[in-house]
Amino acid sequence: MTDLEKEKTKILISLGIGFAVLYVILDKKIFIYLSVLSVFLSITKTKISFQAVNYLKKIFNFIQNLLFGILIFSLYFALLFPVSFFWRLLNKEKFCYFLRNDKETFLLEVKEKINFKNQW
């Protein structure tokens, strides 16, 4: 097998697995077809299989991005956004420092002691 073929097989098999996972998560039959198609193409040596790699990769990336976006979107609005209200209430000074130009100086006293032990 040439390097190119190896690479193709690797990509197609991972795509096959990826689509299978998507099928399990989303329960849409299209993904199982795409998964089978990927695995099938990975064992053939046609020219199409090389071109198909690119298209499949694009489709997969698109769906992955979309799902990722939805996930972050929900995380953001379900968790971080509501928490931000509490944060603002409890850290009024910090919040104003970010956005309000209402002080003579933006130099702050350094309160933390130097330490080399922890990561905070």
Out of 54, 69, 78, 92, the only residue in the binding site for another protein (CB under 8 A) is 69
Out of 28, 78, 80, 92, the only residue in the binding site for another protein (CB under 8 A) is 80
- Closest separation in Å from C-beta 40 to another protein: 31
Tell me which residues in 81-110 interact with another protein (CB under 8 A).
Answer: 81, 83-84, 87-88, 91, 94-95, 97-99, 101, 103-110
Q: How many residues touch another protein (CB under 8 A)?
A: 35
- Sequence-distant (6+) residues with CB within 8 A of 29 are 23
Rounded Cα distance between 79 and 71, Å, is: 12
Q: Which is nearer to another protein, 7 or 48 (CB)?
A: 7
46 with 21: CB under 8 angstroms? no
- Closest separation in Å from C-beta 7 to another protein: 17
Residue matched to tokens 């905070």:
120
For 53-73, b/e burial (b = at least 16 CB within 10 A) is beebbeebeebeeeeeeeeee
CA 28 to chain centre: 21
- Interface ranges with another protein (CB under 8 A): 68-69, 72-73, 75-77, 80-81, 83-84, 87-88, 91, 94-95, 97-99, 101, 103-110, 112, 114, 116-120
